[in-house]
Amino acid sequence: MSNEVANPTRRRVLVGASLVVGAVGGVTALTPFVASWNPSAKARAAGAAVKADISKLEPGQQMIVAWRGKPVWIVRRSAEALANLDTLNGSLADPDSFDAKQPTYVPNTPVRSLRDEVIVMIGLCTHLGCSPTYNPEVVPTAFDANWQGGFYCPCHGSTFDLSGRVYKGKPAPTNLEIPPHFYESDTVILIGEDGGNA
């Protein structure tokens, strides 16, 4: 009689233990599978924000940092270059940047930047993605006898002013893109995040 009573209890204990072991085994087997859905460290780094220290960037100078595999230009414009921006509107395809890719918190004024003297842009032509060259001097050039400083794309001849605005009659359809960014301090820009500005 005691064996008959012990067997059902023993059976319940064994079934319960089997279920617990099976559940733990299932979770253990699924953990690597579910973890594989998370982006790799390399993928996370590719989209991560990038810091740029502009403390040593002098007027007229450009620095380049990489963000999401793209070159990001940071240019400190001189007072003369800033004053010249307003005079170019008649030569530009979209002087007010209505069709440009830029964060809403970046003004559609000629400076197109959070701080007048410093502009942050993606360094890829909006035509076919070539990287234009920086030509800040206001001197006649082989590609423009009346050059006022800016960027020249050697691939198909698109030209942009020092705010990345494309000139009329060029292959590039829009102004250069401005990435999300904000000033983490007076001299450090964080590219890839909006800092709550959006």
**Does residue 18 belong to any structural domain of this protein?**
yes
Residues 87-137: tens digit of each pLDDT: 999 999 999 999 989 999 999 899 999 999 999 999 999 998 899 999 988
Q: What is the DSSP letter of 137?
A: S
Contacts for 153 with CB less than 8 Å, ≥ 6 apart: 125, 127, 130, 131, 132, 133, 159, 160, 172
Place of tokens 């059902």: 8
- pTM for the model: 0.75
d(CA 96, CA 113): 13
Same domain for 34 and 57? no
Structure-token pair, residue 15? 């079934």
Same domain, 94 and 168: yes
What's the number of domains the chain is made of?
2
Assess whether 55 and 27 both reside in one domain: no
Residues 119, 140 share a domain: yes
Strand ordering across the sheet containing 188-191: 50-53, 188-191, 181-183
Tokens of 143: 């590609």
Range of the domain at 16: 1-38
User: Do residue 8 and residue 82 come from a single domain?
Assistant: no
